[in-house]
A = this chain, B = another copy of it.
Amino acid sequence: MSIETIKWIKGSARIIDQTLLPNKFEYIYCRDVETMWRAIKRLSVRGAPAIGVAAAFGVLLGIQKFKGQDKPKFLKLFHKTCDYLATSRPTAVNLFNMLNAMREVVNQNPQANVATLKKLLFKEAMAIFKADQEVCRRMGDHGAKLIKNGMRCMTVCNAGALATVDYGTALGVFYSARKKARKFSVYSLETRPLLQGARLTCWELCRQKIDTTLICDNMAASLMAKKKVDIIFTGADRIASNGDTANKIGTYMLAVLAKHHGIPFYIVAPRSTFDLAIKSGKQIPIEERKSEEVTHFAGVATAPKGVKVYNPAFDVTPANLITGIVTEYGVIRPPYMKNIYETLSNR
């Protein structure tokens, strides 16, 4: 794929500014943690796995200018940096999981001095970066087995290379199926309000010459009624231990519609997107974003001034609407509570 959504280059985190795609392809070089925080907040980098890597890199940015060997001072800066990055977005658990992974490095090495901790943290961030690429390919290969020749697939938002370091989760399934010369097509929901489906997923899939058709979100049901959808794959921002899954707004809509039409509905997400500390989707905080995302486009008002707006960025799909969850360890199927535990514990 080599899209290189996020990459560490000599003391800076280089990210593709996804707010500008598909019209412009530009990089942002984050040289301090504040720039990374803003990049996450304004969705220049987005997608749960990519946010996790961005957070780990953000920690490196926050501590790299620290001089000297005053460990208490260093630890204070380190934890402040982690806490700060944790405020950038609330829903995708990868952010918190990767910050915790960085914290674990510090916790596991109580004797290490500042220089050693810096090295270990750098190593951990690079391991997170590398693992993301590997698990995406493994998920893709597991998921690709679900795609038969001739299938019309559907996806929402962007769970692709741009949502990860590379390759993607749901779109990784398509890339793996394509590598196996499977013939299939994809309906991409545009995904209002910020159109990640239209702007990012269509851009990715067209680059890979995958047969892609863009639709508005409100057209998915109509296609299903016409029996033009065989299988659905989406990413995830957080999966509770019972299988309830938070993902981009509209995912729950697709899951209900899939159930009504008897269409298999799969989530594709790595271990790092699971939150085994929570029992169900009710405990997942859902980010609400500013109304201008809905009322304006390209600076043009699309609604009368002053109208109230409800703009949740995510919704929660209950586990009972999910056919299976494709992970790097294989496809987890119901009963989820038991099978998620058995698959993921001790990993």
Q: Which of A27-35, A137-145, A173-181, A295-303 has 4 or more CB atoms under 8 Å from chain B?
A: A295-303
| A188 and chain B: residue at smallest CB distance | B307
Bound-state Cα–Cα, A43 to B347, Å = 57
Q: Which of A230-253 contact B (CB under 8 A)?
A: 249-250, 252-253
Residues of chain B contacted by A295 (CB below 8 angstroms) = 198, 214
Q: Which of B202, B222, B301, B311 makes the CB contact (< 8 A) with A249?
A: B222
Tell me, rounded to whole Å, the shortest Cβ–Cβ distance linking A43 to chain B: 15
A297 touches B297 (CB 8 A): yes
Which of B191, B213, B301, B306 is close to A218, meaning CB atoms less than 8 Å apart? B191
A118: B residues at CB distance < 8 A: none
- Cβ-closest chain B residue relative to A156: B218
* Contact-size category for A: 35 or more
A72 at the B interface (CB under 8 A): no
Q: Is A189 an interface residue (CB 8 A)?
A: yes
Q: Does A126 contact B (CB under 8 A)?
A: no
Shortest distance in angstroms between A111's beta carbon and chain B's nearest beta carbon?
49
Instruction: Knowing A225-B252, A256-B260, A298-B300 are in contact, say whether A307-B202 is a contact too (CB < 8 A).
Output: yes
How many angstroms between the C-alpha atoms of A198 and B206 in the bound complex? Answer: 30
Q: With A23-B300, A300-B23 as given contacts, are A312 and B219 in contact (CB-CB < 8 Å)?
A: yes
- A216, CB-defined interface residue at 8 Å: yes
Given A302-B190, A309-B213, the answer on whether A218 and B23 have CB atoms closer than 8 Å is no
A189 to chain B, nearest CB (A): 7
Chain B residue with Cβ nearest A219: B249
Tell me whether A215 is interfacial, beta carbon within 8 Å: yes
CA distance A212 to B311 in the complex (A): 14
Given contacts A298-B297, A304-B22, contact A189 B202 (CB under 8 A): no
Q: How many copies does the complex hold?
A: 2
- Say yes or no: A215 contacts B309, CB within 8 Å: yes
Check A214 against B315 for contact (C-beta < 8 Å). Answer: no
Residues of B within 8 A of A252 (CB): 221-222, 225
CB nearest neighbor in B for A217? B218
C-alpha spacing A309/B315, complex, angstroms: 26
Decide if A337 is an interface residue (CB 8 Å cutoff): no
Residue of B nearest to A198 (CB): B303
- Residue in A187, A217, A301 whose Cβ sees the most chain B Cβ within 10 Å: A217
Cβ-closest chain B residue relative to A221: B253
- Is A223's beta carbon under 8 Å from chain B? yes
User: Within 8 Å of chain B (Cβ to Cβ): is A257?
Assistant: yes
CB distance from A224 to the nearest CB of B (A): 9
Residues of B within 8 A of A189 (CB): 218
Separation in Å of the A264 CB from the closest CB of chain B? 17
Contact of A195 with B by CB under 8 A: yes
A-B contacts, 11 of them at CB < 8 A, read: A192-B216, A199-B303, A215-B294, A216-B294, A218-B218, A219-B310, A219-B312, A222-B312, A256-B256, A257-B257, A297-B300
Across the A-B interface, the 10 shortest Cβ-Cβ residue pairs: A218-B250, A221-B253, A192-B216, A217-B218, A222-B315, A198-B303, A22-B304, A298-B300, A213-B308, A202-B307
